[in-house]
Amino acid sequence: MPGPVFLVRLAFLLAGLAALFALHLLALGLADGALIPVWLLLAGVIGFGLLGQACARRRMFLAAHVVPGSSLQRILRGGALMVLMNALKGLAFAALLILFVVRQEQTLGWQLLLLHLPVAVLLTIALRRLLYGHLADLFLPIAVWRLGLIGNMVLLLPAFALAALHGTYPDFADLPLVAAISVEIQRQAAESALLLPGLQLVAAVDAVAWWLAQQWLPVAGLPLLQLAGWLLLFGVNGLFLWSYLLYLAGLVSIATRLLGEE
Amino acid sequence: MIAPSDSAGPTRRQIPALLGLLVVGLVLWLAMDQRETLQGLWLAEPRVAVALGDREYELGASEAPDLEQLSRDHLHGSEERLRQELEGLVATELDALFSDLHERVPHFADWYYSLGGEYARLSFWALDQAGITDGGYVIDRMQALIFDQADYAERLARLHRAGALSIETRQKQARNEWLDHLLERLDGRERQPVTGREPELRLSLDGMLPAVGGGPGSDFETRLAVSGAAASGAGAATTAWRLFGRRTATAASSRLAVRGTTRGAARAGTSAGAGAVLCAPGGPAAFACGLVAGGAVWLATDWGLLQLDALRNREAMEDALHEAIATQRQDLEEQLLRHWLDVVEQHYQGMQREVERTFIPIRALSAG
């Protein structure tokens, strides 16, 4: 049965997903002035998680390689540079996350994300419980973070690939590749001048994937081969899912910090 | 570090929280299920700018697919009307042409059962046997007396031109009707470039105009022309083929010609006897008299035998010719229509593909 940690983390993740869904509904109509704070907020959440991990790794490094009490402990513990680096990473992943959220036009995809939340929380709790007592205290949060991200990716990517098989796509069977890309780019629209080029870039990548899927995959014949093809083509979207998982991990980090678990 | 502490079950205080989260999750699920509706409340419907000629119109994305349906329906209707028109044209023209051919059959029979015809056939048969001519004399006469006199080849060529003209005319008419329907549908939707917001999609219908308007008439005329003896004007060869089955036209001609030689033996004996009886006294005069009398009797015998042959066979031959010509008409009509309608179908399929290609962005917008 779930305990308080599960409930708090799930509440955080639910709120986080609801916020992303609201962003999906509203983003195309948002101007730059409204979208930039949202970007910064998401970057803050992702960056917080990444910074926590960077600090944990640095602590482990210092414990292993630097004598306690040395001035190097203070110098190398991490400061503005580490914050800056992770903030930049946060900004990049947040930009990918916004594109993923805006272009996630399949209802089934959103419902998969919702169903995945309790699984994600249970997975991190189970990992922590399994690894506790086996791993050093300093390495435990790093291992839980990494294995949690990989485990969730392993769950989500095939699920999204399967869902994509049932999606509705433009018919590019009779179009040359360039025309298909052009059509997809042309139909992108957003109020924000920052968002539009990103959407067009992702739309072009999607057009290539859909065009290949419609030109090549019917030849493959077997459903398993088609699924393999979709997985290959859908690999590009793995990057977006990774940014989503980093966002969830950032939320969990915030929840953990608020709960004072570690 | 604190040991994992989430192993204990929920306390009484946590159960309402769990239920609360379940409710939130359910609400979020339902909201996701109504994603498009919710998004529609916030976002304005995507606009589509439609360029036609030098004007630009603006439609909602949901209205734009109607233009494709209109174009498809229009092309389908136009193709159906053109098919009916071509079927009517072919039937009318072939009726008139073959009626003339049927009228020419007695003229051919007159020649066939005339002395001139008889001797010409015999002469060419002899030349055929000697390998001097190619054995197509009777067919040549049939071509000349039935088909050429009815202007068969020229009238078929005119039919092709009329077919091409029909297609071209129908194309232009269809294009104008299509434009009228489009303009009627786009009436009052002219885009205001200054005040209107930028449309999400631009669609140019001008690219479809050449396809919907059709190509030049000469192109259709070439495409409508059918290869084959019946359709190209060599009507007699086809008719002879029908009369004599699978034999070659040369063999058919020889058979028609050789029928005259069966009368040769009877004719020779009769005329020699007649010459001897009429000019009995001897001398050069008697020889000349014998030649003239023999010749006259030869001719008279031939004429008589021809009349007898005509009495016995002419009606059957005319019937066979009529039947062969009627079958030829039916085959020609089928051949022409099959070919013409194939050309029309291919042409309209090309136009449908052009329409489909033009409206792909609209379908992409709808699919998204």
> B217 vs chain A: nearest CA distance in angstroms?
29
Specify the pLDDT at position B217: 45
The answer as to whether A19 is a domain residue is: yes
Residue ranges with strand state E in chain B: 47-52, 55-60, 201-204
Give whichever of A72-76, A102-106, B305-309, B362-366 has the largest mean pLDDT.
A102-106
DSSP codes of every residue in A76-126: TT--HHHHHHHHHHHHHHHHHHHHHHHH---HHHHHHHHHHHHHHHHHHHH
Scanning every residue of chain A, which has its alpha carbon at the shortest distance from the alpha carbon of B40?
A25
> Which residues neighbour A190 within 8 Å (Cβ) at sequence distance 6 or greater?
A27, A28, A102, A196, A199
Q: Which of B10, B28, B46 sits opposite A189 (nearest CB)?
A: B46
Structural domain count of chain A: 1
**Using the beta-carbon criterion (under 8 Å), do B364 and A170 form an inter-chain contact?**
yes
**Using the beta-carbon criterion (under 8 Å), do A183 and B3 form an inter-chain contact?**
no
Task: Give chain A positions within 8 Å (CB) of B200.
Answer: 187-189
Task: Give chain B positions within 8 Å (CB) of A170.
Answer: 360, 363-364, 367-368
Neighbours of A257 (CB within 10 A): 12
Checking if the pLDDT of B367 tops 60, the result is no
Q: Which of B21, B25, B31 sits opposite A7 (nearest CB)?
A: B21
Specify the pLDDT at position A112: 94
- What b/e sequence results for B242-251 when a residue is b if at least 16 CB atoms lie within 10 Å of its CB, and e otherwise? bbbeeeebbe
Task: Give chain B positions within 8 Å (CB) of A125.
Answer: 4, 6
Specify the pLDDT at position B317: 83
State which residues form the domain around A255: 4-166+238-259
Q: How far apart are CA B112 and CA B280, in angstroms?
A: 36
Q: How far apart are CA B340 and CA B62, in angstroms?
A: 38
| B132: contact with A, CB 8 A cutoff | no
**Taking CB atoms and an 8 Å cut-off, how many pairs form between chains A and B?**
113
Closest by CA to B11, choosing from A15, A122, A4, is A4
DSSP codes of every residue in B76-100: HHHHHHHHHHHHHHHHHHHHHHHHH
**Using the beta-carbon criterion (under 8 Å), do B201 and A5 form an inter-chain contact?**
no
Mutual angle of helices B284-358 and B217-224, in 10-degree steps: 120
Question: Cβ(B91)–Cβ(B333) under 8 Å?
Answer: yes
The answer as to whether A207 is a domain residue is: no
Checking if the pLDDT of B3 tops 80, the result is no
| B204: contact with A, CB 8 A cutoff | no
The answer as to whether A220 is a domain residue is: no
Mean pLDDT of chain B: 74
The answer as to whether A211 is a domain residue is: no
Specify the pLDDT at position A16: 94
Q: How far apart are CA B258 and CA B252, in angstroms?
A: 10
Question: Cβ(B156)–Cβ(B122) under 8 Å?
Answer: no
Checking if the pLDDT of B16 tops 90, the result is no
Question: Cβ(B250)–Cβ(B134) under 8 Å?
Answer: yes
The answer as to whether A46 is a domain residue is: yes
Among B2, B5, B6, the strongest candidate for a mutation testing the A interface, having the largest count of A CBs within 10 A, is B6
User: pLDDT truncated to tens, each residue of chain A (262 aa)?
Assistant: 567 788 888 999 999 999 999 999 988 888 889 999 999 999 999 999 999 999 999 999 998 898 888 888 888 887 889 999 999 999 999 999 999 999 888 889 999 999 999 999 999 899 999 998 898 888 998 999 999 999 999 999 888 888 877 777 777 777 788 888 888 887 787 888 889 999 999 888 888 877 877 776 655 555 665 565 566 566 777 888 999 999 999 999 998 888 776 5
Mutual angle of helices A32-65 and A140-165, in 10-degree steps: 140
Fill in the DSSP letter of residue A144. Answer: H
Q: Which carries the bigger pLDDT value, residue B156 or residue B47?
A: B156
- What b/e sequence results for A155-179 when a residue is b if at least 16 CB atoms lie within 10 Å of its CB, and e otherwise? ebbebbbebbeeeebbebeebeeeb
Checking if the pLDDT of B2 tops 50, the result is no
Q: Which of B5, B14, B201 sits opposite A186 (nearest CB)?
A: B201
| B21: contact with A, CB 8 A cutoff | yes
Q: How far apart are CA A223 and CA A168, in angstroms?
A: 18
SS3 string, B189-209, reads CECCCCCCCCCCEEEECHHHH
**Using the beta-carbon criterion (under 8 Å), do B29 and A186 form an inter-chain contact?**
no
Specify the pLDDT at position B231: 57
Question: Cβ(B98)–Cβ(B238) under 8 Å?
Answer: no
For the segment B17-65, what is each residue's pLDDT rounded down to a tens digit?
888 889 999 999 999 998 888 887 777 677 777 887 777 888 777 777 7
- How long a stretch of residues is chain B? 368
| B35: contact with A, CB 8 A cutoff | yes
Closest by CA to A246, choosing from A158, A148, A171, is A148
Specify the pLDDT at position A110: 93
| B200: contact with A, CB 8 A cutoff | yes
Residue percentage of chain B with pLDDT more than 70: 67
Task: Give chain A positions within 8 Å (CB) of B361.
Answer: 183, 186-187
> A20 vs chain B: nearest CA distance in angstroms?
11
**Using the beta-carbon criterion (under 8 Å), do B42 and A29 form an inter-chain contact?**
yes
Residue B1: pLDDT band (50, 70, 90) is very low
Q: How far apart are CA B97 and CA B345, in angstroms?
A: 27
Q: Which carries the bigger pLDDT value, residue B11 or residue B216?
A: B11
Residue B248: pLDDT band (50, 70, 90) is very low
- What b/e sequence results for A229-252 when a residue is b if at least 16 CB atoms lie within 10 Å of its CB, and e otherwise? bbbebbeebeebbbbbbbbbbbbb
| B38: contact with A, CB 8 A cutoff | yes
| B76: contact with A, CB 8 A cutoff | no
- Sign of the Cα torsion A124, A130, A132, A136 reads negative
Q: Which of A25, A125, A187 sits opposite B361 (nearest CB)?
A: A187
Position B263: which residue type? R
Closest by CA to A30, choosing from B39, B34, B199, is B39
Residue B120: pLDDT band (50, 70, 90) is confident
Mutual angle of helices A107-131 and A4-26, in 10-degree steps: 150
For the segment B180-205, what is each residue's pLDDT rounded down to a tens digit?
888 888 887 777 655 455 666 777 77
Closest by CA to A225, choosing from A217, A215, A213, A233, is A217
> A6 vs chain B: nearest CA distance in angstroms?
7
Scanning every residue of chain A, which has its alpha carbon at the shortest distance from the alpha carbon of B366?
A170
Fill in the DSSP letter of residue A135. Answer: B
Half-sphere exposure of A9 (CA within 13 A, CB side): 24
Q: How far apart are CA A236 and CA A224, in angstroms?
A: 20
Specify the pLDDT at position B282: 58
The answer as to whether A121 is a domain residue is: yes
The answer as to whether A229 is a domain residue is: no
Checking if the pLDDT of B101 tops 60, the result is yes
Q: How far apart are CA B322 and CA B11, in angstroms?
A: 106
Question: Cβ(B364)–Cβ(A184) under 8 Å?
Answer: yes
| B14: contact with A, CB 8 A cutoff | yes
Task: Give chain A positions within 8 Å (CB) of B202.
Answer: 186
The answer as to whether A151 is a domain residue is: yes
**Using the beta-carbon criterion (under 8 Å), do A132 and B24 form an inter-chain contact?**
no
Scanning every residue of chain A, which has its alpha carbon at the shortest distance from the alpha carbon of B18?
A7
**Bridge partners for B59 per DSSP:** B48
Q: How far apart are CA B128 and CA B136, in angstroms?
A: 9
| B28: contact with A, CB 8 A cutoff | yes
**Using the beta-carbon criterion (under 8 Å), do A3 and B35 form an inter-chain contact?**
no
> Which residues neighbour B343 within 8 Å (Cβ) at sequence distance 6 or greater?
B220, B223, B224
| B1: contact with A, CB 8 A cutoff | yes
**Using the beta-carbon criterion (under 8 Å), do A174 and B32 form an inter-chain contact?**
no
> A256 vs chain B: nearest CA distance in angstroms?
12
For residue B245, the SS3 value is coil
> B322 vs chain A: nearest CA distance in angstroms?
52
**Using the beta-carbon criterion (under 8 Å), do B42 and A140 form an inter-chain contact?**
no
Q: Which of B10, B32, B367 sits opposite A3 (nearest CB)?
A: B10
